[in-house]
Every structure is written in structure tokens, then in C-alpha cells.
Structure 1
């Protein structure tokens, strides 16, 4: 993989991670078109450039992260369902990630849902998130373990279904992305790049930990650093755009886009193009 290919993937990650359009579907198409979908570094990069996207949320909303312990307790309440369910079905999720068909169908179905979300929850006006709201948003986020569903869409809709307005639900979705994506990215980093298990870190097996870093090549490290920097910058711009666009226009345009992307994926598969990721 070249630096320019890493930058393209990072731009896509930054643009799509916080929008309700599924970053997975975009990564599949981009990596396949660039002919890098079979490379081990591609899978590692597409997961770990999420660190840059996570940092963008912290930088943009740093005041919120310094408010009170209640803020963190609500994030914990929302994160717990994802942590437990994600751990329980991890192998199933990994298997689904290999299926582009599932991703494509999820994009289309999710797109249809987004066409009607604004109408269904037109009276959602709450501007605060309670502990109960947070927990239920976390449950809704678990649906995004199905590739193509979109973590952002699932958690925002989970909030609006409880009467929370679009802007508040979207911002809470951004905040929840920090522990969720941090946990997922760290796990994948240990497992796929360093070939470590969580137990090795918990037990502080320094021999295994130190030896694991020998598998990182200078080129891998360069790609990860460049990718995360680009994803950080692009994600900040995307978040600002999304909040403004969502407040004015709602979800319908994202719904049409998801349907078009899902149909495109299915069409490429029908043409025999290898989209394995």
C-alpha cells in the first residue's frame, strides 16, 4: 500500500465515520477499486485510523468532556451493552464482516429507514439524555455490529426514538463513539497488528508485548500515522457539516445515498468484481 492509498482511505474514514452512511461500505469499494483489498495492512489500517476520528470528537467537544462525572457515567451506561454484546458475538461479527452482500443489503434497508425517520420522530424535542436514554441508545448501537448498518445511524435513531431531538442525539452519538471506537480499535490493534491477546496486556507479559512490536515495519507505522492524521482533520470537518446539515434538512438525503451505494455494491458483485475485504 502506498501513502496516497492510505490517505484516500483516511479521507473516506473521516468523511463517513460520523455520518449515517456506513464507513464499511465505502472502505470496501475504495480498497477494491485501488486493488488493495487483499493486503493485510488494509484491514489493519481501516480499523486503526479510527483513532484519528476519535480524537476529532475530543478536540471539537473538549469542553463537554470536562463538564462533570455525570457525562462519563452516561457514556458508560451507553457503552456497557456494546461491550458485553460485542464480546459475546465477536466471532459472528467477524464472519459477517467478510460478507459484502450483508453490507450491501444493510445499506439499502438502512437507507429506506432513514427516508422515514424524520416523519416518525417529528415530535422528538428533548435536549437532555438521561441514564435510561443512554443505556437504550447503547442497545440500539449494537445493531451496528451488522456491517453496513452504521453506528452513527443506529445510535442517533435510538436517541430520537426516545424523544431526543436530532442535534442532541447526533452529538451524544459522537461522544459515544469515543469509548466504542477506542475499545474496538485497540482490540483490533492488539489482535491483528501486534498479535497479542487482551490477557497478555492484563497480565503485563512484557516479553510478549515487547516482541510484538517487532512485527511492525517502518512502512506500516508511517501509513498508520499519516492515515490517522488525515482522518482526524477530515472527521472534524465532517462533524461540523453533519450537525449543520442534519439540523436543517434531516436524514432523507442520507437515506437516498445509502440505497444508491448498496445497489452499487450489489451491481459490482453481480458483475463478478472481487470486493472481499
Structure 2
């Protein structure tokens, strides 16, 4: 992997991690277009740069993360379903993560759902921010489990979960961002530990690329989050639905044409 490939992948990660469009699908296409080698470092890099995007949420919502202990308790309650589900079904999840076909199909299915989403939850569109109770947080956490199917999108699942709990679009998206911090940190730390156990060692040049990737992902994620909140409150989900359908169709076409697409 060269520095241009590292920067582009970090931009893709920062742009798509918190948008309801599946960062996995975009990483597949970006890696295929740039012919990124499917090496141990590539896998380490694409996992590790998520630390930069996680940090962007903490920086953007710094005051919210230090407002009360109750805030952390609710995040923990929402985090529990994914943690339990991940432990119980780790082998099945790993098997799904090998399937590019699953990514393409889920992007298409999710796209159709997003086109219909504004009509389904129109009644809550103008709701004021409500207090998120423990049962609301737990239900949103259950929806997050859907994101273990690659191509579903963690943010898409949790935003829909928030809407079912009568949160308005802005509040549902923001809680999705907050929940990403413990969820993504735990998942990323676990994968990084697995790499460590496998004896993967980076050269000084690879550590440099890794640092640049995290910095770029951090900056781009901040821009993406701010832009997404503004767009979502004004225009809704339909555009993301059509976009998901296009990306899903591209992946499926390339897959059935026999191109070597891989989940990096």
C-alpha cells in the first residue's frame, strides 16, 4: 500500500463510517479500483483507522460526553445486545464477513428501506428532542445487532432503531454517533489484539501510513458528521436510499462479472 492509497481509503472510511451507506461496501470498491494488495498490513490499516473516526465523535460532542454518568449508563445499555450477540455468534459473523455477495444484497435491501423511511416515520419528523430512557436505548442496541450483517451499515441500523423509539431524525442520528464510540472501540480493539496475537509487525513506513490514515479519517469524519446532520434534518433519507442501491448494484455487477472483490 502506498501513501495515496492510504489517504484515499482513510477518506472513504471517514466519509462513510457514520453515514447510512455501509463503509464496508465503499472500502471494497475503493480497494478494487486502486488495486490495493490484500496483505496483512491492509487488513490492519482498514481496521485501525477506525480509531480516528471514533475520536471525531468525541471531539465534536465533547460536552455531551461529559454531561452525566447517566449518559454512559444508557450507552452501556445500548451496547449490551451487540456485545452479547457478537460473543455468541462470532463464528457465523466471521463467515458472513467473507461474503461480498451479502454486502451487495444488503446495500440494495437497505436502499429500498431508506427510500420508504421518510413516509414511515413522518409523524415523528418534527418531534422535539425527548429523553432517551433505558428501554429506548436497549431497543436501539438490538437494532445495532443487524449491522453485524456486512453491508447493512451500523449507523443505518441504529438510526432506524432510534426512529422506532419516536426520536426525531437529528436525535436518532446523534445517538447513533454516540453509540458508535463504545461499539466501534470494542470491535476495533478486539481485531487489533487478534492481529497482535497473530504476530503482525509493522515497519516504520507502515506505522507512518497508519498515523496518516487515522489523521485523515478523523478530519474527514468531522466534516461528514456535520454535513450529514444538516442534510438529514432538511432532506431526509431518500437520497441515501438511491445511493445505496447504486453502490449495491455496482458491487453485484462486478461480483457476477467475476472480478476479484474482497472484504479488506
Q: Give the TM-score range, shorter chain.
A: over 0.9
User: Counterpart of 2:20?
Assistant: 20
Query: Residue 258 in 1 paired to residue 244 in 2?
Result: yes
Cα shift readout 1:64-83 (whole Å, capped 9, x = no counterpart): 01100010000000001111
User: Counterpart of 2:179?
Assistant: 176
User: Counterpart of 1:7?
Assistant: 7
Question: Which whole-Å CA distance do the structure 2 matches of 1:242 and 1:85 have between them?
Answer: 29
Flag as ranges the 4+ runs of structure 1 deviating above 6 A.
none
Query: Residue 231 in 1 paired to residue 233 in 2?
Result: no
User: Counterpart of 1:221?
Assistant: 207
Contact 1:31 1:42 in 2 (8 A): no
User: Counterpart of 1:131?
Assistant: 134
Q: Which sections of structure 2, spanning at least 5 residues, go unmatched?
A: none
What displacement does 1:216 show?
2.6
Cα shift readout 1:148-178 (whole Å, capped 9, x = no counterpart): 0000000000010111110000000000000
What displacement does 1:37 show?
4.7
Q: Secondary structure at the match of 1:123?
A: helix
What displacement does 1:215 show?
2.0
Cα shift readout 1:62-109 (whole Å, capped 9, x = no counterpart): 000110001000000000111110111122112111111000000000
Question: Which whole-Å CA distance do the structure 1 matches of 2:192 and 2:226 have between them?
Answer: 28
User: Counterpart of 1:195?
Assistant: 197
Matches within 5 A, 1:24-173: 24-124=24-124, 125=127, 127=129, 128-173=131-176
Q: CA RMSD for the aligned pairs?
A: 1.2
What displacement does 1:219 show?
2.3
TM-score of the superposition, structure 2-length normalised? 0.96
Number of residue equivalences: 260
Q: Which sections of structure 1, spanning at least 5 residues, go unmatched?
A: 197-211
What displacement does 1:126 show?
5.3
TM-score of the superposition, structure 1-length normalised? 0.91
Q: Secondary structure at the match of 2:122?
A: coil
1:245 to 216, 231, 235: 231
